[in-house]
Amino acid sequence: MPNPAAHLPFYYGSISRSDAEEYLKLAGMSDGLFLLRQCLRSLGGYVLSLVHNLQFYHYPIERQLNGTYAIAGGKAHCGPEELCEFYFKDADGLCSTLRKMCNRPSGVEPQPGIFDNIQDNMVREYIQQTWKLE
């Protein structure tokens, strides 16, 4: 199952909160500056890291059972990209609307998560067992 955020230039993959904050500092700390990263605690989830009034805010984005994505108490969206597009227009409970993407620096690729290879291997094994493939 491909990662629906992997193609986004502001998606950093599996990085820590402190790494996210460092990237946001390097990008200027302007209000509404944000990046998206993989949640280290929730399989399939993300975290929206956002700057407002020189403070960092981290909003977990959970993957719902129906496959949509939502910030707790917020509107559900079909993917992380659509969720970010929505929050550009409406803060809807966030400290600020999203205003500027903190894109990955040139040459920096999204960091793979600890579950990425496990998930791929489990799918591969399931297919092999189901269809008796060698």
On whether the CB atoms of residues 42 and 32 are closer than 8 A, the answer is no
Q: Is the CATH number 3.30.565.10 carried by domain 17-130?
A: no
What DSSP character marks residue 94? S
Backbone φ and ψ of 131, nearest 5°: -105, 10
- What is the C-alpha to C-alpha distance for residues 67 and 90, in angstroms, rounded to an integer? 22
pLDDT tens for the chain, 134 residues: list them. Answer: 578 899 999 999 999 999 999 999 999 999 999 999 999 877 779 999 999 999 999 999 999 989 899 998 899 999 999 999 999 999 999 999 999 999 999 988 888 776 665 665 666 676 667 776 65
Torsion of CA 5, 7, 8, 10, to 10 degrees: 100
- What is the C-alpha to C-alpha distance for residues 30 and 55, in angstroms, rounded to an integer? 10
pTM for this structure? 0.83
